[in-house]
Amino acid sequence: MKITVIGLGHVGTVAAAGLASAGHDVLGVDVEPSRILSLQRGEVFLYEPGLQPMVQAGVRKGNLHFAHRDEAAAPLGDVAIIATGTPPASSGTADLRQVRSALDWIKSKEPRGLVLVMKSTVPPGTGRRIIEDDLRGAAISYVSVPEFLREGRAVADWSSPERIVVGADPNDLRSLDLVKQAHAGMAAPFVFTDVTSAEMIKYASNAFLATRISFINEIAALCDSVGASVDAVGEALAMDPRTGARIFAGVGYGGSCFPKDVRALNHIALTSGVEVELLRSVINVNNRQRLLPLYALRRRFNGAVSRLRVAVLGLAFKPDTDDVREAPSLDLIKALVNEGAEVCAYDPQASGTAREHLPESVRLASHPVEAANQAQAAVLLTEWDQIVNADWASIAQRMRPPKFVFDGRNALSKSQMLGLGFTYLGVGRGGRDRMDY
């Protein structure tokens, strides 16, 4: 099948490469010339494990092509997938300008019988408005197929998603059939529903995961106050399928999806007069979590963060990606620098993407031990293997007293850290870890 993917970011590049590797003839288009040039050479401009070889295989085989949107002359094929960004607008809602521009481009091609698949995350009700207003009279069918892949595991998630949600007109059998063909070979159940419900499934899914994270973070705060261990609590909770898979307490969620999608859902509620107290609390708890290390440093150093040397270990919003969108590291580092701290940061992949968002005074190290050199405090924000399994004995030797480590992801062994002479603080680890016994 011939498929055009519009928008070659984290989702679109994986979609284009994944569809090509499943045997489809794929054209990927974007408005960013440098992205197109590097993809045409088989080079992926973002760090996503396994993606580059998949892109290279498609380019070599000849069924994966890339073109700048304004130079893409070929007809769009059977299916066009919109995977452009939907960043947060200042009001909290999703900014749909990239989606609208992609839509206009598709319409300008005057396709006949095209199935338009919306993979971008758009607020519930958007698809219905597009069908009624933008696509009226056009020979284009609209299907919502929200994307659930996780950065860092996107390649595996693409081919083995938990489910494929398809929102469409149930009488539009041709579109349903083409969407099924596009996803052939994926080992996942389909969930067929209407367009608005499909859009809501995506938001509810992200909001629910964000809620679970804020919930365990609130339990962690209580653990700290009563002297319990959130590790033991989280482990035991995860044994009951009703409470869901294991989640970890820490400095909260970040990234390009959870923060903006929860805020967008909250905005929908506000503008439609629906009370959503829980969502507001989820956002508030997360905002507080992100600055926990700052509060801890102020407490530990009697409010004197000024001139403190702090090593920040991890800049990406999570491991295995170089994405720093809404990463807790950016807020924390800015706050530390504002208060006069000297910051040296390390990340195995995200130093390049983070640089432009960081104050100039922040130094970037090429190794965790280098970042910690002469620091009185170290803050772990991203649980990369390179950080969790760093040479902590050397870090202890290089740091200055009190060798304070704030483990913002509860990724280190508290007993080992204490054994190495660090002053250690995790999130909600007031009690004894189960592994300490």
Question: Can residue 318 be called a binding residue for ligand NAD (CB under 6 A)?
Answer: no
Main-chain phi, psi angles of 222, to 5 degrees: -70, -40
- Considering the complex, what minimum distance in angstroms separates the CB of residue 434 from ligand NAD? 32
Angstrom distance (rounded) from CA 93 to CA 100: 15
> Judged by CB, which is closer to ligand NAD: 31, or 296?
31
Residues 6+ apart with CB under 8 A from 356: none
Active site annotation includes 257:
yes
- Considering the complex, what minimum distance in angstroms separates the CB of residue 29 from ligand NAD? 6
Tokens 């859009």 belong to: 199
Determine the residue with CB nearest ligand NAD. 9
DSSP letter at 134 equals I
Question: Can residue 339 be called a binding residue for ligand NAD (CB under 6 A)?
Answer: no
| Options 24-32, 231-239, 386-394, 396-404: segment touching ligand NAD (CB under 6 A) | 24-32
Given candidates 4, 52, 93, 121, which one binds ligand NAD under the rule CB under 6 A? 121
List the interface residues with ligand NAD, window 254-313 (CB under 6 A).
256-257
Beta-ladder partners of 229: 429
Question: Can residue 6 be called a binding residue for ligand NAD (CB under 6 A)?
Answer: yes
Question: Can residue 205 be called a binding residue for ligand NAD (CB under 6 A)?
Answer: no
Question: Can residue 11 be called a binding residue for ligand NAD (CB under 6 A)?
Answer: yes
Which residue among the candidates 209, 257, 264, 305 is catalytic per the annotation?
257
Q: What is 293-320 written as a DSSP string?
A: HHHHHHHHTTT--TT-EEEEE--SSSTT
- Considering the complex, what minimum distance in angstroms separates the CB of residue 13 from ligand NAD? 8
Of 106, 118, 132, whose CA–CA distance to 167 is shortest?
118
List the interface residues with ligand NAD, window 143-162 (CB under 6 A).
147, 149, 151
Total number of residues binding ligand NAD (CB under 6 A)? 27
Question: Can residue 24 be called a binding residue for ligand NAD (CB under 6 A)?
Answer: no
Question: Can residue 35 be called a binding residue for ligand NAD (CB under 6 A)?
Answer: yes
| Options 2-10, 70-78, 235-243, 326-334: segment touching ligand NAD (CB under 6 A) | 2-10
Given candidates 86, 266, 286, 353, which one binds ligand NAD under the rule CB under 6 A? 86
Handedness of CA 253, 257, 262, 263 (dihedral sign): positive
> Judged by CB, which is closer to ligand NAD: 101, or 373?
101
Long-range contacts of 55-59 (CB under 8 A, 24+ apart): 55/13, 55/16, 55/17, 57/20, 57/21, 58/16, 58/17, 58/20, 58/21, 58/26
Angstrom distance (rounded) from CA 111 to CA 177: 18
Per-residue x/- track, 91-120, ligand NAD (CB under 6 A): -------x--xx-----------------x
User: Per the structure block, which two tokens stand in for 164?
Assistant: 């494929």
Whether residue 111 has a cis bond before it, omega within 30° of 0? no
CA dist list (Å): 344 to 49, 227, 316, 337, 362: 26, 32, 15, 11, 6
| Options 4-12, 109-117, 305-313, 337-345: segment touching ligand NAD (CB under 6 A) | 4-12
Catalytic residues: 257
Q: Which residues lie near ligand NAD (CB under 6 A)?
A: 6-12, 29-32, 35, 69, 83-86, 98, 101-102, 120-121, 147, 149, 151, 256-257
